[in-house]
């Protein structure tokens, strides 16, 4: 929790009692972890928490009038997509201790990297008779806390879109196509996009059922993972800026590629991988299949 030192009176932290964030998982709710394994961009995230606010003590200790109005607000930020948005805002009038439920669902396609959650109790209206040194501006923060959730998993960590390839320059009967930026320092979220051809029913069904895949979906997803991994690794090895000493920004294309290469070929230098790809490209493709364990589905 962050303790503020603003130029106005604030109440003690004890006026707010906040439960831990809960996450919807199938038919139940579990405490939000610090890391979410096996997450992908097709998976939305539903969150909720209860927060109890002692309205009378908050007004008294902050010097606000009895007709002042408070607001409990939550905001989310995604480091992978550089997006930010409101979770929920609830105005608090009346008296006594009030329990407020903060609940919202975030679209997976808008997320990536680390999800930051900030909850704040702010002044919506100072009322008609605030005391000296009381907060007088709407939006003045009286209390806040921060929580984070690292999103990671084995699935491709970038958006997926289903389109009609017949209306593009891609081969009309191809099943999918990976778009990837040459700028290794650009954000992964805006630089990688897996396009799935809506004309290919098995591929569309597989990505739509990725959260709960059928046996046939698992086989298609295994093929997509192998092909996408090969394209990404080969893309990295063709870029001269991709090497052992490179230092890429967090959640960038370069960091994503570096992580993927490290997972698929642990202990193998990038120099050796580049030589293997240049001298024996067909064997290298088979090496990627072996590394991703093609068709080894649970």
Q: Are 160 and 41 in contact (CB under 8 A)?
A: yes
Predicted pLDDT of residue 6? 79
Query: What is d(CA 51, CA 102) in angstroms, rounded to the nearest whole number?
Result: 8
Residue 38's pLDDT is what?
Answer: 67
Contact 251/111 with Cβ under 8 angstroms? no
Q: Which secondary-structure segment (H or E) carries 226?
A: helix 215-237
Compute the residue count for the chain: 298
User: Which pLDDT value is given to residue 4?
Assistant: 55
| DSSP-derived 3-state class of residue 190 | helix
Distance (Å, whole) CA 17 – CA 2: 14
Beta-carbon contacts of 172 under 8 Å, excluding residues fewer than 6 positions away, are: 165, 166, 197, 199
Residue 259: count of CB within 10 angstroms of its CB: 13
- Residue 195 contacts by C-beta under 8 Å, 6 or more apart in sequence? 160, 161, 162, 163, 165, 168, 170, 176, 177, 178, 179
Write down the number of H helices and E strands in the chain: 7, 13
* pLDDT of amino acid 129: 76
Q: What is the pLDDT of residue 157?
A: 57
Backbone angles phi, psi at 28, to 5 degrees: -140, 175
Instruction: List the domains of the chain with CATH numbers.
Output: 13-151 (2.60.40), 160-292 (no CATH)
Taking Cα atoms as reference points, which of 183, 201, 200 lies closest to residue 192? 183
Distance CA 202, CA 172 (A): 15
For the stretch 71-98, pLDDT in tens is 999 999 987 667 789 999 999 998 999 9
Low-confidence ranges of the chain (pLDDT < 70): 1-5, 38, 41-42, 80-81, 152-158, 297-298
Helix or strand (DSSP H, E) at 99: strand 97-106
On whether the CB atoms of residues 134 and 123 are closer than 8 A, the answer is no
| pLDDT single digits (tens) 269-284 | 999 999 999 999 999 9
């Amino acid at each position: 929790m962050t303790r503020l030192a603003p130029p106005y009176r604030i109440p003690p932290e004890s006026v707010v009692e906040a439960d831990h964030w809960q996450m919807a998982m199938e038919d139940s709710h579990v405490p939000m972890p610090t890391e979410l394994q096996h997450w992908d961009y097709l998976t939305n995230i539903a969150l909720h928490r209860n927060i109890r606010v002692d309205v009378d003590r908050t007004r008294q200790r902050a010097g606000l009038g009895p007709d002042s109005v408070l607001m409990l607000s939550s905001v989310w930020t995604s480091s992978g997509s550089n997006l930010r948005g409101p979770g929920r805002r609830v105005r608090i009038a009346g008296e006594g201790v009030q329990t407020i439920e903060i609940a919202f669902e975030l679209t997976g396609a808008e997320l990536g990297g680390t999800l930051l959650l900030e909850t704040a109790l702010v002044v919506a209206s100072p009322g008609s008779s605030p005391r000296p040194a009381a907060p007088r501006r709407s939006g003045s923060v009286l209390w806040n806390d921060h929580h984070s959730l690292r999103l990671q998993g084995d699935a491709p960590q970038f958006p997926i879109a289903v389109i009609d390839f017949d209306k593009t320059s891609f081969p009309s009967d191809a099943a999918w196509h990976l778009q990837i930026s040459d700028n290794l320092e650009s954000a992964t979220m805006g630089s990688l996009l897996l396009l799935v051809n809506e004309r290919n029913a098995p591929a569309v069904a597989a990505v739509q059922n990725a959260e709960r895949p059928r046996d046939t979906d698992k086989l298609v997803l295994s093929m997509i993972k192998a092909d996408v991994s090969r394209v990404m690794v080969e893309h990295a090895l063709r870029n001269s800026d991709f090497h052992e000493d490179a230092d890429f920004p967090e959640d960038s294309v370069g960091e994503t590629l570096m992580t993927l290469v490290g997972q698929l070929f642990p202990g193998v230098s990038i120099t050796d991988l580049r030589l293997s790809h240049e001298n024996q490209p067909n064997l290298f493709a088979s090496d990627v299949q072996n590394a991703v364990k093609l068709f080894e589905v649970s």
